[in-house]
Structure 1
Amino acid sequence: MTEHKKRRKRKGFMILELVIVVAIIGVLAAMAVPNLTGLTDEAKVARIQSDLSTMGTAAEVYYVKKGAYPATLDSLVGSGDEGYLKKLPEPPDKSVTYELKDKGEVVASFKGKTYSSFGTAT
């Protein structure tokens, strides 16, 4: 009988090994998920700031060429020499809208904070 036990090879994993691996993966995931949640908001803010900078620059070019700031953001869209943007940037979040204020300032609000094309945040 001892020869039979020696010849018998173990196939696959023991249940204890699988439980330990799953527990380790669970601990690693629990540490990583909260960090990733904050990063998505930071990425959205960076995208908003980039969009505001683009639209603010287009509004300034409009002002230089026409002598007045545009009445609406849609005035910046066009093709060829008539347009300053091919299309308006789409906000990264459904709760965000871009608004044109005085003197070519474009603003957007996200999570209770207002961002401006002038580089200020309140």
Structure 2
Amino acid sequence: MCKQLKGQKGFTLIELMIVVAIIGILAAIAIPNFIAYQAKSKQAEAKVALGAIFTSAVAYQAETAPQTYAPPAIGMIGYTPSGNPRYSFWYAVDLTTGGPGPGTPTPFPGAPAVVAGSCNTGSAPATGATVAASPTGFTAGAIGNVDGDVACDEWHMNDQRALTNDKNDVSATT
């Protein structure tokens, strides 16, 4: 019987435990990084949508007489988010046609539902810049929650195509 056991090869319990410990350490390092990269990829939605809003607002301004970035209704910009957006996108409308602006911040249709205990996507992003539109310029905004916590992710883009991430939900802890 002893002769049969000497010829067998295999792993000891200690070796298997060491392999499991190494896999656990690698997972502990990789999972948080994966979650952060996943959240950063979700931020691309805000960047792309604000770029589309910029294009629509510039086209609206070029086609109106007198030229202005502040439409009397949000639908006149010609942008509508598609699918199920994570962000609500905001632009200012000037309810007094030909008025001096800065307009009233208004969400584009299709905004996500406001979830209690989460970030408030039902109000315009206000960190760093104000959503506004006038005859000479505009600032559009996006607010959303990319990782399910209470912190909001806020973006702004102006008529100079300057994109800013005023409040970063990926690096926020609250």
**When the two structures are superposed, what TM-score results if normalisation uses the length of structure 2?**
0.49
1:45 aligns with 2:43: yes
Q: Which whole-Å CA distance do the structure 1 matches of 2:51 and 2:3 have between them? A: 78
Counting matched residue pairs gives 109
2:15 maps to 17
- Correspondence 1:94-109 to 2 at 5 A: 96-101=87-92, 102-103=133-134, 104-109=138-143
- The alignment yields a C-alpha RMSD, in angstroms, of 2.9
For the Cα contact (< 8 Å) 2:56–2:77, is it kept in 1? yes
Structure 2 alignment gaps of length 5 or more: 93-132, 145-150, 167-174
For the Cα contact (< 8 Å) 1:49–1:116, is it kept in 2? no
Q: Which is helix-richer, 1 or 2?
A: 1
1:30 maps to 28
Structure 1 residue corresponding to 2:58, chosen from 57, 60, 75:
60
Q: Deviations over 1:19-58 (max 9, x none)?
A: 2211111001111222223223322333312211111111
For the Cα contact (< 8 Å) 1:52–1:107, is it kept in 2? yes
Percent of aligned positions that are identical: 28
1:88 aligns with 2:87: no
1:115 maps to 155
**When the two structures are superposed, what TM-score results if normalisation uses the length of structure 1?**
0.66
Q: Which is strand-richer, 1 or 2?
A: 2
Q: Which whole-Å CA distance do the structure 2 matches of 1:114 and 1:5 have between them? A: 66
Residues 21 and 31 (structure 1), Cα distance of their counterparts in 2 relative to 1, 3 Å cut:
same
